Structure 1
Amino acid sequence: MFDKLQQAFWKALTPDLVPEEPRPATAVDELSPAIVAALGGVDNLKSHQPVALTRLRVELRDVGRIDRPGLSAAGVAGVMTLGNGVVHLITGLQA
């Protein structure tokens, strides 16, 4: 209970720094179709969530299906691949 209260408090003070709960891959309405396609399609997405103001965190089933030139063409400035299928997309203020 205290953890949820503390998270709500910090989110109110710094809304761009406290991440939202990950959204399931079925809720891709906020993502550009070009970005979804470059990430390997909807079936390759496990979850996604905005991080800070300029970054989008996605969890993928297969990182090898990423189309980096396609992401660049869709306006993604950078791609940072982390472990366990987690990828951060540097999108600017459109995250």
Structure 2
Amino acid sequence: MHTPVNGSIIALEDVPYPVFSQKMMVEGIAVIPSNGNIHFPVKGTVILIAATKHSIGIRAENGVEILVHVELEAVSLNGEGFNSVVIAGDQVSVG
């Protein structure tokens, strides 16, 4: 698996949002991005894109499901500033 964004990796426990820092939703890492592009970390199938486009679910070829979540306050932006180039069901490659 590859990091979906360039930047500095921080522990999930250090994210200032309890849903993530307390691991209520997922295990993982967080990245403070150095640019605005998000890429697919694995080859697989898109299984979910949030209506606000701030998160995407991917099922890797080995069956592992991955959530890429962008921005902590993204829901309040109602999709503004986000651009998705895939839809649920699309096959994707790393990068």
What is the TM-score of this pair, normalised by structure 1? 0.32
Choose between structure 1 and 2: higher strand proportion.
Answer: 2
Whichever of the two has the greater Rg, that structure is 1
TM-score under structure 2 normalisation? 0.32
